[in-house]
A = this chain, B = another copy of it.
Amino acid sequence: MARTIEFDRNEVLENAMNTFWNNGYSMTSIPNLVDSTKLNPGSIYSAFKSKEGLFLETLEFYGLNSVSQLKQYFDDSSSPLSAIEAFLKGIVDKCKSTDKRGCLIVNSILEMASHNDAVQAKANLQLQAVEDELVKGLQQAQAMGELSADKNPADLAKFLMVNIWGLRVMAKTNPDAQSADIVLKQILEALHH
């Protein structure tokens, strides 16, 4: 009855995500996206409605990926607390690498959230999903006696989120190779104390 869509939506989202992640929203042009997605302007607009529409779907794609990576840490680790530690170590390793892109969600919040309610809402949702996973993990750790009983998992998760955001900023500042490790050590102390 009708012609079928030729492109793979996830592949397009991944390419668009990398472009937005490298350049930020404002500094990504439609011609940039045409290059990276191999879609013509018309196709982008018919599939995603607008540059903002594509961006919002990109943010969701990124957020779902992030949460499933975190869940993977819980599945792959011997205990909830060691999963969280491995997750933090992964972020620190990115800090030390040549990848200076930080976190797409954090970058987007700082760039756009105060001017774009849809971005604000979507980004907050994705951050909350990560925080919720951390709370669950910390609760399990506490139930297992891995985490001190006098800690409040919800409060500690908030503290970890702030430190993760801070590390994402640090990744953008060209830190010494050791700076991120020095900070990680202190975050872990707060976790274990």
Task: Tell me if A102 is interfacial: C-beta within 8 Å of chain B.
Answer: yes
Q: How many copies of this chain sit in the oligomeric assembly? A: 2
A residues lining the B interface (CB < 8 Å): 22-24, 26-27, 100-102, 106-107, 109-115, 120, 123-124, 127, 155-156, 158-159, 161-170, 172-174, 179, 182-183, 185-187, 189-190, 193
Known interface pairs A113-B173, A163-B166; 4 further A-B residue pairs with C-beta atoms within 8 A, sorted by A's residue number:
A100-B114, A114-B172, A158-B179, A159-B182
- Bound Cα distance from A169 to B115, whole angstroms: 15
- When distances are taken between beta carbons in the complex, the residues of chain B under 8 Å from A156 are 186
- When distances are taken between beta carbons in the complex, the residues of chain B under 8 Å from A172 are 109-110, 113-114
Cross-chain pairs A/B with CB under 8 angstroms, 27 sampled: A22-B114, A24-B112, A100-B113, A106-B110, A106-B169, A107-B110, A107-B111, A109-B172, A109-B173, A110-B169, A113-B172, A114-B172, A120-B174, A127-B173, A155-B182, A155-B186, A156-B186, A158-B182, A158-B183, A159-B182, A161-B170, A162-B170, A163-B163, A165-B170, A168-B169, A186-B190, A189-B193
